[in-house]
Amino acid sequence: MLLASTEFTTTALLLGAFGALLLASVALSRGLDRAGVPVALLFLALGMLAGSEGLLGIPFDDYQFAFRVGSLALILILFDGGMNTSYAAVRSAIGPASVLATVGVAITAGLVALAGRALGLPWTLSLLIGAAVSSTDAATVLAVLRGSGLRLRRRLGATLELESGLNDPMAVILTISVTDALLSGAGAGWSLLYLAPMQLLIGAGLGAGVGWLARRLMMRIQLRAVGMYPVITLGVALLAFGGATLLMGSGFLAVYAAALVIGNGEVPYAAALRRIHDAIAWLCQIGMFLMLGLLVFPSQLLPMLLPGLALGFFLAFIARPLAVAICLAPFRFPAKETGYLGWVGLRGAVPIILATFPVLADAPGAKGVFNLVFFTVVVNAIVPGATVRWVTRRLGLEVPETPTPSAVLEVASMRPLKGDLRSYYIDKSLAVCGASLSQVAFPEGAGAALVVRGDELVAARGATALREGDHVYIFCRPEDRAFIELLFGRPQGDAPTPEI
């Protein structure tokens, strides 16, 4: 009885503390957002404050738990990223993003390893650090930009986003190979040259296949309980990861590919699914960084101060920019875009989670690597991270973002409907700006559903005139979409037209 009540109290305390940390993270994130600093740093700091050497003194040093929960969080964050990436964005950026995600990762890892060696670390540990910090995290950059109402030019944003969706697998492959080499005492070997492409191919193929089957399944079965649909997509994410990993493929790439296929096709309750996965991704993002913060002992970080700073700066100022310049040379990016991509390749949670892997494998010197990687990521998030907004504006790489309507109208359906309802921002350059709805030559079967004017909802009647700054909801069939966009411009939420 005593044991049961103690367990109950401990669980309640832990869950209560976790809840309070989540709330604090969300409440404080807005302030950091305004300052233009990646919010991930806040979650990490809160985790450290709550940890065994912090205010709450929560003891946590379970690397295995951290690795598993971290992997789960990454899967769900990647899945959300894939669901929100359009095929058009993939098409526009697949070339440069693929090279950055493979060759770029290898170059970055190699250069950081050289720097580690120059600092006096053994080759194997240097390679391990290089491999762990080699992948980028677009979510960190894009969150900073979103916080400032900025949107990157289409190909630039798509390259950054797609690269970070594709480069985790390469970093995972490198880290596992180097860890294995560390344990066996043998070199990483040339097998990487064929293992890496093979794993990527299996991951992409299997993920796309799982995604395609899942989409067909969701269209076929008609579930009465709407809440079951996100259960399917969550299951797909986990299955794609597990299946591909067991079949010697890249699990993370499989997750991303499955989500791409689902997100770009018709699925029931698509808008609601996106919102649910967005919420899950945020929860994972906050939870994962809090946990990684808990896992760190500040006292152990202090000895890493100098090498950590050195590696962080080397990564930001030399390794990443150089890798990007080499990889993008064949793609004719303007110099300022190449420079920008080189500067804003921020690191996120992936390196820290990857650094737990050698600790779990009991590789010699692994704890030191974990602390050094942690430090490098934090330095990297602060130095280029805090300048992202300023650099974006300074280089003029943002595209104007239309304001979002104060009211959202959407059609939710468990069956695919012929037609959709989208909101359009009335810019003064549009043909329909100043026209009354009765003057608009709507095709048969298309029409305006609602006008949102500031905080006011205006009935869409024939006499209603469209004013600059209005948001108008238009219902139309797929075959009329091109004409509707000719009159009303870009639907809200769609990526801007690529600049050519």
Partner 1 sequence: MVAAPAGIATIADPTRPATPKTTMNILDIITPDCIKAPLEAQDKKAAIYELVDLLAKADKVDDVEGLRDAVWSREQTRTTGIGHGLAIPHGKCVGIPRLAMAIGMPAKPMDFAAIDGKPVQLIILLASPIDRTSDHIQALARISKIMHPEPFRERIYAAKSAAEIYELLREAEKAT
Evaluate whether 363 touches 179 at the Cβ level (below 8 Å): yes
State the DSSP code for 243. H
CB of 405 to partner 1, least distance (A): 14
Shortest distance in whole angstroms from residue 100 CB to partner 1: 23
Taking CB under 8 A as the rule, does residue 447 contact partner 1? yes
- Tell me the closest approach of the beta carbon of residue 219 to partner 1, in angstroms: 14
Residues 88-107 that bind partner 1 (CB under 8 A): 88, 91
Residue 460 CB, nearest distance to partner 1 (Å)? 5
- On the CB side of 360, CA atoms within 13 Å amount to 15
The residue (of 252 and 475) whose beta carbon lies closer to partner 1 is 475
Residue 319 φ then ψ, to 5°: -60, -55
Q: DSSP code of 58?
A: B
- What is the C-alpha separation between 402 and 151, in angstroms, rounded? 10
Residues 6+ positions from 315 with CB-CB distance below 8 Å: 108, 112, 115, 133, 347, 376, 380
Q: Which residues pair with 422 in a beta bridge?
A: 474
The residue range among 186-194, 240-248, 385-393, 441-449 that interacts with partner 1, by the rule CB under 8 A, is: 441-449
Hey, what amino acid is at 375?
F
Among 439, 454, 456, 468, binds partner 1 (CB under 8 A): 439
* Count of Cβ atoms closer than 10 Å to residue 303 Cβ: 12
331 binds partner 1 (CB under 8 A): no
What DSSP state is assigned to residue 61?
-
The answer to whether 432 contacts partner 1 (rule: CB under 8 A) is: yes
Binding residues for partner 1, rule CB under 8 A, total 57
Per-position x/- string for 459-498, each x denoting binding to partner 1 as judged by CB under 8 A, each - no binding: xxxx----------x-x------xx-xxx-xx-----xxx
Q: Which stretch binds partner 1 (CB under 8 A): 65-73, 243-251, 305-313, 410-418?
A: 410-418
How many CB atoms sit inside 10 A of residue 191's CB?
11
According to DSSP, the residues that pair with 465 across neighbouring strands are 436
Question: Which of 59, 43, 77, 69 minimizes the C-alpha distance to 289?
Answer: 43
To the nearest 10°, the Cα dihedral for 224, 229, 232, 237?
180
Residues facing residue 378 across a β-bridge? none
Tokens 């597990």, located at residue: 242
Answer for which of 122, 364, 434, 454 binds partner 1 (CB under 8 A) is 434
Query: Contact with partner 1 (CB under 8 A): which of 61, 275, 441, 468?
Result: 441
Q: Which stretch binds partner 1 (CB under 8 A): 37-45, 158-166, 210-218, 409-417?
A: 409-417
Q: In the set 438, 454, 456, 493, which binds partner 1 (CB under 8 A)?
A: 438
Among 31, 149, 443, 454, binds partner 1 (CB under 8 A): 443
Q: Determine, following the binding rule CB under 8 A, whether residue 413 of this chain makes contact with partner 1.
A: yes
Which residues inside 211-230 make contact with partner 1, applying CB under 8 A? 222-227
**Using the rule CB under 8 A, which residue among 301, 414, 457, 458 binds partner 1?**
414
Contact call for residue 417 and partner 1 (CB under 8 A): yes
Residue 451 belongs to what H/E stretch? Answer: strand 447-453
**442 is an interface residue for partner 1 by CB under 8 A:** yes
Nearest partner of 329 among 19, 112, 103, judged by Cα: 103
- The runs of H, that is alpha helices, within 84-122 are 87-99, 105-118
Dist. CA 380–CA 314, nearest whole Å: 10
Candidate list 57, 185, 396, 400; residue touching partner 1; CB under 8 A: 400
Q: Which is nearer to partner 1, 227 or 330 (CB)?
A: 227
Q: Which residues bind partner 1 (CB under 8 A)?
A: 88, 91, 222-227, 400, 409-415, 417, 421, 427, 429-435, 437-444, 446-450, 459-462, 473, 475, 482-483, 485-487, 489-490, 496-500
